[in-house]
Structure 1
């Protein structure tokens, strides 16, 4: 492998906000490793990937703006949390049965443009889908992002990149309750649907079921070895 190890933090079932906090700490470590921040944190690789499954329903939106107050109140009344995220893309849903992957990678060191990085994330999920038997999974040309089964999105992608360090990433529907998407226009795409691995494969597929093949595909796409670590703490 030509790249330095990437640290894997498997958080398991955690609140969405907690996964974001862990991501922020990983971004600080990546900036430090690049000499863009305080002294480097001893023993921490400069790149990480944070994996989690949201423990409760949350609607999150990116840099294109929050939902209107009336819409936000309606979503909150359904028992969902609301969160702003520093990423591209419009409003989407995160909840149990969904794999969130937040790679914190140094694109300058990897000599990878942002669009190439998004394509790499799509390619990663396509490899995973094919290993699971979903040969029809596909990526669409820009401006569409993510991975699709027909006209239904199975994996959403929304990223941020500051000083060449990535954050946020992808949300893969494994056994997600898809009815939560009925209350929004997912990612702002009118006329498009949402699906899951469980629906497409006709069997119950949990986040735990896909972690190993996901990480195998991650190593292949980003040409790296993985080291596993506990939550870095507060």
Structure 2
């Protein structure tokens, strides 16, 4: 049996709202499709990718931002959104690879926990390919990928009816000062970092896209089919 196919949709530099709208479209599409037990040969879903066009703070199902904090962040010129993913508050912005896999886990033979572990493995492997061999995943509440006490990749997902949404945010050349206005993911005493900071050179989202897609394909054991936004 051939490996399941996953559509790759690269939005380029895009507004966070555009990514969420496309995610909702794919969620409705997958939810309307018959399950794999019905003998369908439909794709497993889509891998939605973008570089955020502007600063956005998001909070998850566990909250993370008070009304006062929200007002302060908006005064800085940032967008603030409440999302349905797991976790607390984090930041998305230019210089970050934002990856939202909208997948039917049944077609990939995965459970939610193994899906999260696979996302972590993708980010760890990408760091290793860039020479950062100390990158590692840590158990909850430290979900994500870390270099010591510095988080380089945040992960927060949602899953309903076996279909995932949201995903990971990998700091490539992100302006890390934006993180100073929150407690990222509610973890006091930890920091954030980026590929550019660790490697002491500019690492763009465009640079990491090809190796990230290769790592995703290998980790999720799927084929990738590219297309533009729809």
- What TM-score do you get using the length of structure 2 for normalisation? 0.94
The residue number in structure 1 matching 2:128 is 130
The residue number in structure 2 matching 1:4 is 4
- CA offset at residue 65 of structure 1? 1.9
Secondary structure of the corresponding residue to residue 137 of structure 2 = coil
Secondary structure of the corresponding residue to residue 135 of structure 2 = coil
User: Could you tell me which of 80, 83, 95 is aligned with 2:93?
Assistant: 95
- Contact 1:11/1:51 (CA < 8 Å) preserved in 2? yes
Q: Deviations over 1:101-122 (max 9, x none)?
A: 0001111232322111111100
Within a 5 Å distance, the mapping from 1:77-88 to structure 2 comes to 77-88=75-86
The residue number in structure 2 matching 1:76 is 74
The residue number in structure 2 matching 1:13 is 13
Secondary structure of the corresponding residue to residue 59 of structure 1 = strand
Within a 5 Å distance, the mapping from 1:50-199 to structure 2 comes to 50-65=48-63, 67-199=65-197
Q: Distance in 2 between matches of 1:132 and 1:218?
A: 16
Unaligned runs of 5+ in 1: none
After the TM superposition, which parts of structure 1 deviate over 3 Å for at least 4 consecutive aligned residues? none
Q: Distance in 1 between matches of 2:34 and 2:132?
A: 39
The residue number in structure 1 matching 2:225 is 227
CA RMSD of aligned residues (A): 1.8
Q: Distance in 1 between matches of 2:64 and 2:194?
A: 25
The residue number in structure 1 matching 2:199 is 201
Secondary structure of the corresponding residue to residue 23 of structure 2 = helix
Q: Distance in 2 between matches of 1:225 and 1:112?
A: 16
- CA offset at residue 45 of structure 1? 3.4
Length, aligned pairs only? 227
Q: Distance in 1 between matches of 2:178 and 2:140?
A: 26
Secondary structure of the corresponding residue to residue 112 of structure 1 = coil
Quickly say closer, same or farther: Cα 1:118–1:46, change in 2 above 3 A.
closer
- What TM-score do you get using the length of structure 1 for normalisation? 0.93
- CA offset at residue 2 of structure 1? 4.1
Within a 5 Å distance, the mapping from 1:42-57 to structure 2 comes to 45-57=43-55
